[in-house]
Copies of this chain bind each other. A is one copy, B any other.
Amino acid sequence: MNAPAQLAHLVPDIQQRPMPAELLAALQSRFSSQCSTAMAVREQHGRDESVYDVPPPAAVVFAQNTQDVSDAVTLAASHKVPVIPFGVGSSLEGHLLAVQGGISIDVSRMDQVLSINAEDLTVTVQPGVTRKAVNEAVKSEGLFFPIDPGADASIGGMAATRASGTNAVRYGTMRENVLALEVVTASGEVIRTGTRAKKSSAGYDLTRLMVGSEGTLGVITEVTLKLYPLPEAISAATCSFPTIEAAVRTVIQVIQLGVPIARCELIDANTVRMVNAHSKLGLREEHMLLMEFHGSPASVKEQAETVQEIASEFEGNAFQWATTPEERTRLWTARHNAYFAAIQSKPGCRAISTDTCVPISRLADCLLDSVAEADASGIPYFLVGHVGDGNFHFGYLIDPAIPEERERAEVLNNQLVARALRLEGTCTGEHGVGLHKMDFLLTEAGTGAVDMMRSIKRALDPDNILNPGKIFAL
């Protein structure tokens, strides 16, 4: 079945390069048991949370240190064979798929927290450390790392996709929270970008160039992150609304007043129902804002009062507070389980996730029209949003065995992205481009800007071996 032109990204361009026997022998000689060509291992490294079906990489190297990565890249480079960095495999847009063949470099064994500098609020980790492991490591210092994509993703992967999550409204994204990197370049050279200084004007911002480059400009082998003092007080609240619009208008006013809210999530009534069914939670089945406030006890109280006042102007009701860690965990579990709850609601289904982000003043327009379209389509979906940032996700639940369902979902996604771009927003707030949004990026950024990206790629990776075929076609 041929996809319509505007849905070309349904079918990725697969042109796997050959794996020379000489390279495979060299890898096996250098890495012995750290190098695998077992089909099960290759298959596990040849997929992510996207819906694409692509043959797996030819081999997997399990790197244990920077030298391993450098040696694997150097060997691959000598044969112009692709390398694809792999963390925990939680990317959503096909980032990990071996569309041009090559070697998956698995960094999950590079899982050391190298140094915690509590006084400077920084931590330096290897790329395979997960976000939860970072938090476990720094907790005893009274610190935390706020960036929390749904999955317990690796820090290297989070840097590579410029990830964010529920805390971004207050603490920013990986863009703002990576201070410095160690990177293996396309030639296998090891370079460092940035220092532990909080700010710098020393030359081009290579750190920010690497963050969000999805493995196409280098393999990240070390990351220095900003940390934050654990708030003295934390309070979470839920509030129910009669309409999505009322919830969104509340959020807009909270942000515009400059309330330093730490988390501000929307869950629509339908998704609350799914979560209740999945997690036995008994939440009120209306559109819901799930919020969190961080600060001193007085400041948290003040923020919460302000927000409650605004919410009540928009018919927000049934304010529920959670101040103990247990109650808070219960509420946030609802949010974090939305994806799994939705998947379970339609056995055998997969979710096609959207990721638009718009200026907050355009959020209601963008969201309400898209909800109407999704409802009209008849495709079941879940809807959650980091609405404090103007970012939200539909997850269209489709049967992968029915191509027509996938196409209808992608048509909805196309319409949503077109709307977000008209409203001065972006096609991806936090998931990245991968294979799925290459056409959208071209529309969003324009040929000139994408050509600039291509020029940079060609300059830094002339043989196109670093995760080729992602972000843009060369």
Q: From A40-48, A193-201, A403-411, give the one contacting chain B.
A: A193-201
Partner of A204, one of B197, B199, B203, B453: B453
A278 within 8 A of B: no
CA distance A445 to B441 in the complex (A): 31
Q: Does the CB pair A201–B432 fall under 8 Å?
A: yes
A426 within 8 A of B: yes
Q: How many residues of A contact B (CB 8 A)?
A: 93
A13 within 8 A of B: no
Given contacts A198-B357, A359-B120, contact A206 B430 (CB under 8 A): no
- Smallest beta-carbon distance A248→chain B, Å: 13
Q: Does the CB pair A164–B199 fall under 8 Å?
A: yes
Q: Does the CB pair B198–A361 fall under 8 Å?
A: no
- Smallest beta-carbon distance A148→chain B, Å: 14
A333 within 8 A of B: no
Given contacts A164-B199, A199-B391, A203-B433, contact A193 B449 (CB under 8 A): yes
Q: Does the CB pair A175–B208 fall under 8 Å?
A: yes
A31 within 8 A of B: no
A459 within 8 A of B: yes
Partner of A298, one of B298, B389, B445: B298
Given contacts A119-B256, A197-B426, A389-B199, contact A175 B458 (CB under 8 A): no
Interface residues of A in 307-346 (CB under 8 A from B): none
Q: Does the CB pair B456–A204 fall under 8 Å?
A: yes
Q: Who on chain B is nearest to A258 by CB?
A: B229
Given contacts A229-B256, A358-B197, A425-B195, contact A202 B119 (CB under 8 A): no
